[in-house]
A and B are shown apart, each in its own frame.
Chain A
């Protein structure tokens, strides 16, 4: 027991002695949490909208005003010709262009039907779909109003059947994406710090040559690994605590569920990450190799965690792969416990999987550490 205590003491000293690392470990993640949580929204707004008005009547201007009034569209410019509009779109100055044809009003009155041509930059396919829906809604409303203003008395009134869709957003009525993103990004930051630090740890000693000194001492394998794990576990929990305080005070993220459960799960989770880190560290020769591998897994874990893009939309084989992604479970658990107030009975599948993962990874870490060089 004493031996482990000394190793832990040594590790803590090494962390706190390196003054240039401290801000990177403690300040940088929190700054990122505060800034980056604001960035992650799929909401489509401030759409860069331009138009070509070939009709130039009060009627066509009224349609443009509808777009102006909408909060989704940022009406930027009137283009004199389609050519100039398409050049602006190539430049990326505008994403949606509406062209109102000549005799727009006259044809509508005469033929009862007229077209509008709409061009949408569809590189971001999902956004383009939403933009199309928004434009259609505005035109639809305008259409209904035109009905009233242009309709001559005596024409029989047609009443179309309407289906009203009322969207209700549970647990987060205002669709405040920050309540979702803050816990998620906090998870990422805690994971990154603990994975990178533990991944570099043993291999650094290898590179500097101090590992050999430890190898000739009577320290046992498991003592060594536990001594290495513990400081980073504490570090991860400190980061989580500071992050949760920021989430609560600055972002006003509700914490509905049990805090004890959250911490209990986090401890198991950090053990998984540390196990992966030490495993990488034991298997590599240089810090450079270790960091490349850690980076490789980190990017995959982040992008396939379901935090930024939904897992359900991935192809089946990719969904199977995400079963091995610890961040996926952490994001799910944080979301369920913090926002929905889920209890242990709700999260036990994730809990058990994470626990199994932790046992396997740390077993591998102990096994892969060889006292020979």
Chain B
């Protein structure tokens, strides 16, 4: 035991001696959380649009006012023929054009029906779709206003209640995701590098001939990183509470325990990577190339998993980050406890044991 403690001490010395890495390790997550927490949103704001008004009457003017009053759009230009749309789109100055048909107001009164086209630049289909939805909801509102007097004989009114995030803050959606990505990559990358580094430098051989058991060597290497990652997690959680006003409606203890579980999961994935790669270069490329995009795209961090094609929904189940994001949102926003999150917790536990079992099996006591 004393030997083991000595070994852990050595690892801590290693880490604390490298001031630069330490600075990077703690500085970067803070910068990233702050940057992404403020900057990333999947709503639209101030989208530049153009108006093509063939009618130019009181009604269209009123609608245009409504559109420009909303925070979603800012009207960049008025154009007067269809040909100008193409040029504007091609230059990328605007994202959408509202095209009011001729005699819009007159038709609305005489025929009870008038048409407006929303032309969107759908090279970015996600934004185009959102723009189109927002425009139609503004027009729906306007329609309700003008029909106040001529109400339908029957009215069914849905009373909507938005729960867990009534102000629709996108920070609530993204902070758990950012936290997950940072912890995942930092933990997996750190362990995989530190173990392969000893292999590459040749010091692994020295450790292997020491009286320490291989198992102790691995645990000893991981313990300091658990410590560092936990500090990182605490910093990120504090930032999300105090800077982004994220609530923690559930238990802090559970939040802490689940974070530690996720960190151990990521670290054991890092150990697994290190056992299969011979050099630091390979280990880093596997953990960076192999983890970065799948974790960002398949974890539900930005894109909703339920909208993905079915095979991808299945694949997303093997991404540990997906489960941790569900747990984080559950504890922080929904305020649920283990009674609701036992399934996700079990899955993470199972994954962790699987990674550890596999690395023990693959672990070689001898170097080639």
Measuring CB to CB, which residues of chain A are less than 8 angstroms from any residue of chain B? 18, 20-21, 24-25, 28-29, 32, 35-36, 38-48, 89-92, 98, 108, 112-130, 132-133, 135-136, 139, 142-144, 146-147, 150-151, 155, 158-173, 175-177, 179-180, 185, 188-189, 192-193, 196-197, 200, 204, 284-289, 291-296, 298-300, 302-304, 308-310, 312-315, 318, 321, 332, 335-336, 339-340, 342, 346
Contacts and interface: CB of A to CB of B under 8 A. Distances in A.
Nearest to A36: B297
15 contacts: A36-B297, A40-B126, A112-B155, A117-B158, A126-B173, A160-B150, A165-B118, A192-B288, A192-B289, A192-B292, A288-B197, A291-B193, A312-B44, A312-B45, A313-B42
B137 to A, nearest CB: 5
A286 B281 CA distance: 11
B128 A114 contact: no
Nearest to A44: B307
Given A118-B158, A118-B159, A125 B172 contact: yes
Closest 8 CB pairs of A and B: A125-B168, A169-B122, A318-B39, A172-B122, A122-B162, A42-B126, A313-B45, A122-B165
A115 B122 contact: no
A196 B288 contact: yes
A284 B24 CA distance: 11
Contacts of B140: 133, 136
B368 interface: no
B158 A136 contact: yes
Contacts of B330: 90, 92
Interface in B182-222: 185, 189-190, 193-194, 197
B122 A35 contact: no
Contacts of A89: 163
Given A147-B154, A169-B120, A293-B24, A312 B306 contact: no
A175 B129 contact: yes
B189 A295 contact: yes
Contact of A164 (B114, B119, B282, B298): B114
B32 interface: yes
A158 B148 CA distance: 12
Contact of A158 (B119, B150, B304, B326): B150
A58 B336 CA distance: 37
B42 A161 contact: no
A28 B42 contact: no
B213 to A, nearest CB: 26
Q: How large is the interface on B (under 10, 10 to 19, 20 to 34, 35 or more residues)?
A: 35 or more
Contact of A28 (B158, B165, B290): B290
B292 A298 contact: yes
A38 B312 contact: yes
A127 B150 contact: no
B22 to A, nearest CB: 10
Interface string B1-35: 00000000000000000101100110010011001
Given A42-B126, A135-B158, A161-B113, A296 B333 contact: no
Contact of B280 (A139, A162, A287, A332): A287
A332 B123 CA distance: 10
A114 B36 contact: no
A172 B158 contact: no
Contact of B154 (A45, A113, A197): A113
B161 A119 contact: yes
Contacts of A318: 35, 38-39
B41 interface: yes
Nearest to A308: B302
A41 B172 CA distance: 20
Contacts of B350: none
Contacts of B252: none
A21 B323 CA distance: 30
Contacts of B43: 125-126, 313
B356 to A, nearest CB: 23
Given A128-B165, A163-B139, 6 more contacts: A42-B303, A133-B136, A151-B153, A196-B285, A288-B190, A291-B284
Contacts of B349: none
Interface in B114-155: 114-130, 132-133, 135-137, 139-140, 142-143, 146-147, 150-155
Given A42-B42, A123-B172, A171 B122 contact: yes
Interface string B84-118: 00000111100100000000000011001111111
Contacts of B311: 38
B228 to A, nearest CB: 12
A335 B153 contact: no
B289 A28 contact: yes
B293 A119 contact: no
B94 to A, nearest CB: 11
Interface in B21-74: 21, 24-25, 28, 31-32, 35-36, 38-48
A184 B302 CA distance: 15
